[in-house]
Chains A and B, each alone.
Chain A
Amino acid sequence: MLAFALRRLLISVPILIVSTFVVFVMVSLSANPLSPLISRNPPPPPRTIELERIRLHLDQPILERYWHWITGIFSGDFGPSVQSNLNIGHEVFARFGVTLRLIVLAMVVALILAVIIGVISAARQYSKFDYTATFFGFLFLSMPAFWFAIVLKQVGISINTAVGDQIFYTIGSSSVIASGSGFWNQFGDVLGHLILPTISLALTSYAAWSRFQRASMLEVLNSDYVRLARAKGLPRWTVTRRHALRNALIPLTTVTALDLGSILGGAVVTETVFQWQGAGAFLLNGIKTSDVYAVEAWLLIAATFIILLNLIADLLYGLLDPRIRYA
């Protein structure tokens, strides 16, 4: 299994190189990051433009720029940003720290929801609960994440004005005032800011997983060994929990890992609505200002996350299901 993990890690290196290279070329060709400087009024002296061009390595051909970027990564240099005072390496990790809170919490909530709803739906197939859960599953599957986030934000604001107090935080990932007022205050403040975005991201993500969990649970519940366990007189709930659920959870690991990319997309949208200064805002700003090194830093970290999580899911699959052996 160690050999399998190592081989997979080795394959992911060229994948990372090719995908970052493709995006690097696309962003570099798409627009001139110097154009805001050139069109500035009064026009800056040509010397300033020339210096900026050299600072952004624009005097080199694209291949050379990419080579410098990728070799620079190993020494912790993520390349120059369009904003001259911005350290991309420093900034991107701080931003992902903020975003990771949202993603991890939302994924945990979504997974718990998906497993509970999926299992009950399967155990009570064609019951009222099953039909209701199916309907809401389809509804959230069809819900645009940004629209739902705005609705939630609006509900939060309405409740705040109705009560006349700040119950839900609707803007930002933490308050400025709370920083420096003790760990627990800060912790509570961060948690308070997380509530609405987490609900939004979790509800718009759980639906596909709960449908999947229901299907895999149904398959296991109809299998021979479950029927045998029931025939031997074991209580229904014990069979569902100890015999069926354990096996029905296995396929979900792979699906969860595969969906990380779309959760990242959902997080970008959710952060935009709640005006978080997270990785999403960092990326969108990078795209808008043609800040190629910023976009690349975001992509490198995001793609690494996706690859690692998929690898972990595959390894976990082998551990959970003894029939699968990696050679």
Chain B
Amino acid sequence: MPDSTPTTLGGSRFAPDDPQTPRGAPEREFTVKERSQAQLVFRRFLQHRLAMISLVVFILIVLFAYIGGAVWKYGPDSITPDNSAPPSGEHPFGTDAVGHDQFAQVMRGTQISLQISVLVALFATIVGTIWGSVAGYYRGWIDTLLMRISDLVLTLPLLAVAAVLAHQSGGTWWLIAVVIAGLYWAYVSRVARGVVLSLREKEFIEASKALGASDARIIFRHLVPNALGAIIVNLTILVSIGILLETALSFLGFGVQVPDTSLGLLVSTAQTAVDTRPWLFYFPGIFIILIALTINFIGDGLRDAFDPQQTKVRA
């Protein structure tokens, strides 16, 4: 994978295939293999132990929810003859009062909660990033107008307004995701604007402007690759925020509705049975924490990996 051409330390940071990068330059005392920015980021991430463990756990949870949900002997709707049974080999997470297998329920709930939070992260990131970048890049009245609209959305208490809007969604999972993302993009737009505002003043942007580069070239060739790190980190963290918001919404009764289920809804229905059937309450809760926690750690690892000031793993 790594190119065998020896070159100067680190290579070019901002434009990996810039023609000015001295390929095959005279050997120096410390010769290092040339690596692209993406390879550097990837290697730094691999060395982040906590983030790697989290990634493995997260992948296991995803496999558990989707593959497990497909092969497990009970479906989320199947009613077994055992009701209110504690965890056993037959029902690893026990059963509820009706006889639903909680193992299958948690799998289904994890699927729905994951789908909603990933969709929230994607929608909010796409809208927020475009919104904030346009504001930060063009500034002037466009900036003022776009950011006033963001501020307007930010004054709305998110969970409350999401409850109002999601009340009409009828529990359709992607509508719930749209509602949450429709309120959360404003936060992303602020971050994106900040990143773009600081980037556009950098010398390399000025240099390409001086060379006569078009707006599109500057945006796609220079701004986007440099902002990508911040955007990807944000996207990751948003998944964990998304799952906490979705579960809170479902807990309050405005999210996913009964024929289907989500982790928040499972906790909500189990809250009166914490004492008598604790397995119904603790398993879905632990899954919410595990998903949010692993994603936060992955995001943290990515943040370190994308940090250009990070010098720990250069060679």
Binding site for B on A (CB under 8 A): 11-12, 15-16, 18-19, 23, 26-27, 30-31, 138-139, 141-147, 150-151, 154, 157, 258, 261-262, 264-266, 268-269, 272-273, 283-284, 287-288, 295, 298-299, 302-303, 306-307
Contacts and interface: CB of A to CB of B under 8 A. Distances in A.
For A16, A26, A151, A287, the residue with the greatest tally of chain B CB atoms inside 10 Å of its CB is A287
Nearest to A258: B154
B274 A150 contact: yes
B285 A147 contact: yes
B271 interface: yes
B125 interface: no
Interface of B: 148, 151-152, 154-161, 163-165, 167-168, 240, 244, 247-248, 251-254, 264, 267-268, 271, 274-275, 281, 285, 288-289, 292-293, 295-297, 300
The dominant DSSP class at the B interface is helix
Nearest to A272: B252
A265 B159 contact: yes
A147 B274 CA distance: 11
A262 B264 CA distance: 18
A207 B76 CA distance: 35
Given A138-B300, A144-B292, A147-B247, 8 more contacts: A142-B296, A143-B289, A144-B247, A146-B248, A150-B281, A258-B154, A299-B157, A306-B155
Nearest to A147: B285
5 contacts: A12-B155, A16-B155, A23-B156, A146-B264, A284-B252
A127 B118 CA distance: 35
Given A138-B296, A143-B289, A150-B274, A261 B164 contact: no
B55 to A, nearest CB: 15
Contacts of A288: 167, 253
Contacts of B151: 15
Given A26-B165, A147-B288, A299 B159 contact: no
Given A30-B168, A144-B247, A261 B293 contact: no
B280 to A, nearest CB: 12
B160 A15 contact: no
Contacts of B295: 142
Nearest to B153: A19
Given A138-B293, A287-B164, A268 B264 contact: no
Given A144-B264, A144-B285, A268 B293 contact: no
Contact of A147 (B148, B164, B267): B267
A11 B145 CA distance: 13
A199 B240 CA distance: 22
Given A142-B240, A150-B281, A303 B156 contact: yes
A243 B73 CA distance: 64
A23 B264 contact: no
Contacts of A12: 155
A230 to B, nearest CB: 23
Given A19-B155, A141-B296, A269 B248 contact: yes
A18 B153 CA distance: 10
Contacts of A268: 159-160, 252
Nearest to A305: B157
A72 B271 CA distance: 41
A141 B163 CA distance: 22
A157 B248 CA distance: 23
B248 A144 contact: yes
A306 B159 CA distance: 14
Contacts of B268: 146
